[in-house]
Amino acid sequence: MSAINAVTDLTCEGDIAVLTINSPPVNALSAEVRSGLRDGVRQAAADPAVKAIVVICAGRTFIAGADISEFGKPPKGATLPELRNALEGGPKPIIAAIHGTALGGGFEMALMCHYRLAVPSAKFGFPEIKLGLIPGAGGTQRLPRLSGVENALEVVLSGAPFGIKQAREWGVVDEVVEEGKLREAALAFARKAIDTHMPLSKIRDRNEKVEAARGHPEIFDKVRREYARKYRGFEAWQAALRAVQAAVDLPFEDGMKLERQEFLDLVPTAQAQAQRYVFFAERKVWKIADVPEDTPVLPIRKVGVIGAGTMGGGISMNFLNVGIPVTIVETAQEALDRGVATIRRNYDNTAKKGRLTAADVTTRMGLLSPDLNLDALADCDLVIEAVYEDMQIKKEIFRKLDQIAKKGAILASNTSYLNIDEIASVTSRPDYVLGMHFFSPANVMRLLEVVRGEKTTRPVIATAMRLARKIGKVAALVGVCHGFVGNRMLAQRQREAQKLILEGAMPWDVDRVIYDFGLPMGPFAMSDLAGLDIGWSKEASKSSTIREILCEMDRRGQKTGAGYYDYDEQRTARPSPVVEKIILDFAAKKGVNRRAIPDEEILQRCIYPMINEGAKILAEGKAQRASDIDIVWINGYGWPVYRGGPMFYADLIGPDKVLAKLKEFQATMGEDFKPAPLLEKLVAEGKQFQDL
Ligand code: T1G
């Protein structure tokens, strides 16, 4: 055996050379791996004793793509064209032996080989689109030649991996071999290739499937229509379409050139930078400085949920979905029945869409135990309270729960704003109390804010984080403060949005600016969806705000067919002349001289105070890192991933520009814009939030 470099070994089994890549954790196609591959293949190719070459990876997976941490840095090591010439252009059959996930550049490298073997559990795919990129090493030119154009478009545009069945059908793999027997099967295949003089099969030469699509622009038009909505605001998908179209319209080499140029144009873009940042942010968010990976976790075999309303029902479904029995408690039979019926209806709808079988629905509903008695929660390992947002009601429930719940049970509140320490203080086990703040609809939204109380123990935190991963959530650890991270920042935007419609904008102006920025909807459409009467009481209402006036007029949002907008039968929102008059009258009564407000100011006044609040949250230690705040906003509030999150956005614009604008607003509009000391400090030190 000879070491080609630190991550690549070359061994010879008779006249078969085996190149083993070993670069944990995922054998990413780093400079060293590329150089090891190039030099190893060249060495084997030059060795007259060698008749065939097997490329295989050690560890948990085949090459899972280019090393994302290398992007944006000066290129080092072997280039992709060099690798291609060594592999596809090599004089001897090269066999890729695949296990785990052959993704991105790893999948492209395998497609440069002459043959591919894989174990049944192997996955293949081009996730580049999730990084604001497209395949840059021939993936958009070679895959369509195997899978056909429509399938290749789906793979490249969805970024989703596909399995062995598809890989076999498309001829991506030449042989499916037994799990755990990959190396010997690859040697046997190489043996056969030598003994039967198998040709150097090059995918580049297989043109039938791309030629079949020539003169059928409708294939691309259909996909363009399909993805236009899904990828609103994203740039890379159009480049992916152009590259696959090139595979159809252009000779292979010209298609490769076009793909490469599209790829190189995307790498430095703000969107690609943002999506790379989010890739690592989504992995960092799970790491808690003082709760190491090996912190013991508590077994969660049974969960209790208090409250069968929208949140309670959605929360329960998360656990039923992963086979954890749930006892759901309500105070009245009618409310309990309504809650259980909603859960069943949700499952039935999912089954109708073919994403669940009737048996799945029965199994999940079978794990649900509705009850009217809190005592039914005595043997739960975790109880999540999801009742009306009132401190006294929550404290009352936690007092009772503390008496009922078994020793060692974790007590969690789904409160969106309230002080977890105050709730915990009424129990004898504040060390087992924390917040688990789900987002509506709780069975759909990926975000979970795990709220660490003053006394919450590390094992309880570790248990909540591990459980979050199990139910498919992205969990961010946050500290106790009003509204935690997400809602605390949201309040800044909502405040400014209300001021803007008083000063000169209309709700639909503000919403248009926020929608065009990339969020799924603006603050006013969001309020109409949630209901304007959350926390509103008729008795206390004094027409002191536009929202109060609307509620008094029974314009409570979508549910009443009118709110800030008028809604037709299909719930399509239309700017409302009624609301316009209310706003103008209200402003006149307040003596406000309304003015035309430019879109840029609307955007800055909605987003900069959020960034400023993010800086305060970081300074107070209510979030571990700036990228956690971004993960909260991307997974809980629809912040577009291609803008990286509010804190990344601040770095992109420049914290100095955000500070300057806040000071300008402060000078004319007051202390709501007073810059956070941390922001001042960052700018003074020429740093960014990412440097924290
Ligand atoms: N580059 C660098 N680091 C990577 C990496 C990569 N491609 N993939 C994973 N890691 C790190 C990750 O940060 C984490 O580090 C550890 O590995 C485990 O990852 C030219 C341009 C493979 C399915 O997009 O989807 O090829 O946090 O926690 O859940 O056309 O990682 O431990 O320090 O995610 O088991 C295309 C990205 C690149 C695949 C494994 N490839 N990776 O999931 O582990 S672009 C991708 C994944 C490209 C070419 C183009 C997943 C995984 P740490 P993990 P996992």
Nearest CA to ligand 1 atom 30: 135
Return the ligand 1 atom nearest residue 69 CA: 2
pLDDT at site 2: 82
**Mind listing the pLDDT tens digit for each residue in 35-84?**
999 999 999 999 999 999 999 999 999 999 999 999 989 989 999 989 99
Q: Whose CA is nearest to atom 16 of ligand 1?
A: 25
Look at residue 219 in the predicted model and tell me its pLDDT.
96
Residue-wise burial string across 50-59, b where 16 or more C-beta atoms lie within 10 A, e elsewhere = bbbbbbbbee
Which whole number is the average pLDDT over 517-535?
Answer: 93
State the Cα–Cα distance between residues 330 and 338, nearest whole angstrom.
10
- 3-state DSSP assignment of residue 162: strand
The average pLDDT across 241-250 equals: 98
Active site residue 680: no
Contact criterion met (CB below 8 Å) for 680 and 662: no
Report the C-alpha gap between 436 and 306 in whole angstroms.
13
pLDDT at 1 over 80: no
pLDDT of residue 28: 98
**Interval 459-517: pLDDT, tens:** 999 999 999 999 999 999 999 999 999 999 999 999 999 999 999 999 999 999 999 99
pLDDT digits (tens, 9 = 90+) for 548-563: 999 999 999 999 999 9
- Residue 102 Cα to ligand 1 midpoint, Å, equals 11
pLDDT digits (tens, 9 = 90+) for 300-358: 999 999 999 999 999 999 999 999 999 999 999 999 999 999 999 999 999 999 999 99
Q: Does 520 sit behind a cis peptide bond, omega within 30 degrees of 0 on the bond before it? A: no
- Residue partners of 341: CB distance under 8 A and separation at least 6: none
Residue 96, pLDDT score: 98
What does the pLDDT look like over 583-595, one tens digit per residue? 999 999 999 999 9
**Dist. CA 318–CA 443, nearest whole Å:** 6
Marked catalytic residue, from 32, 82, 88, 128: 128
Give the CA distances from residue 394 to residues 418, 425, 436, 477, 658, in Å, rounded to whole numbers and listed in that order: 10, 12, 14, 22, 39
Q: How far is the CA of 26 from the centre of ligand 1 (A)?
A: 7
Contacts 24+ apart (CB under 8 A), 215-219: 219/149, 219/150, 219/153
Q: What is the mean pLDDT of residues 355-384?
A: 97
* pLDDT higher than 90, residue 120: yes
Distance CA 299, CA 320 (A): 16
- Which of 209, 107, 227 shows the shortest CA–CA distance to 167? 107
Biggest distance spanned by C-alpha atoms of the chain: 93
Contact predicate 367/323, CB 8 Å: yes
Distance of CA 225 from the midpoint of ligand 1 (Å): 30
Residue located nearest, by CA, to atom 43 of ligand 1: 26
CB 468 within 8 A of CB 416: no
Residue spans of beta strands (DSSP E) within 354-459: 368-371, 382-385, 410-413, 433-438, 447-452
* Ligand 1 center from residue 263 Cα (angstroms): 18
Residues having CB closer than 6 A to ligand 1 are 25-26, 28, 64-69, 101, 103-105, 108, 127-128, 131, 133, 135-137, 139, 280, 283
Write down the pLDDT at residue 535. 80
Percent with pLDDT over 70 in the chain? 100
Among the listed residues 32, 70, 82, 108, the single catalytic one is: 108
From the CA of 642, how far away is ligand 1's center (Å)?
A: 18
Q: Is-contact 19 8, C-beta < 8 A?
A: yes
How far is CA 306 from its chain centroid? 28
What pLDDT shows up at residue 537?
A: 86
Ligand 1 center from residue 537 Cα (angstroms): 50
**In terms of pTM, does the model score above 0.85?**
yes
Write the CB contacts of 158 (distance below 8 Å, at least 6 apart in sequence): 129
State pLDDT tens for residues 122-173.
999 999 999 999 999 999 999 999 999 999 999 999 999 999 999 999 999 9
What is the C-alpha to C-alpha distance for residues 138 and 151, in angstroms, rounded to an integer? 16
Task: For residue 271, give every residue at least 6 positions away whose Cβ sits within 8 Å of its Cβ, in sequence order, or none.
Answer: 132, 234, 235, 236, 642, 643
Annotate 271-283 with three-state secondary structure. HHHHHHHHHHHHH
Dist CA 36 CA 552 (whole Å): 72
Per-residue pLDDT tens for 575-628? Answer: 999 999 999 999 999 999 999 999 999 999 999 999 999 999 999 999 999 999
- Is residue 229's pLDDT more than 90? no
Nearest to 658 by CA among 667, 669, 649, 671: 649
Active-site annotation holds for 108: yes
Helix residue ranges per DSSP H, 250-332: 252-266, 270-284, 310-320
532 — pLDDT class (breaks 50, 70, 90): very high
Task: For residues 98 and 95, give the distance between their C-alpha atoms in angstroms, rounded to a whole number.
Answer: 9
Q: Do β-strands 410-413 and 382-385 pair in parallel, antiparallel, or remain unpaired?
A: parallel
From the list 489, 429, 421, 495, the residue with the least C-alpha distance to 451 is 421
* Ligand 1 atom nearest 104 alpha carbon: 26
Which ligand 1 atom sits closest to the C-alpha of 280? Answer: 13
- Mean pLDDT computed over 413-419: 96
Mean of per-residue pLDDT scores for the chain: 97
**Which has the closest alpha carbon to 639: 605, 599, 606, 612?**
606
Atom 42, ligand 1: residue with shortest CA distance: 64
Q: Please enumerate in sequence order all residues whose Cβ is within 8 A of that of 47, keeping only pairs 6 or more positions apart, or say none.
A: 12, 17
294, two tokens: 């090996």
Please check whether residue 143 is in contact with residue 108, taking contact to mean a CB–CB distance below 8 angstroms: no
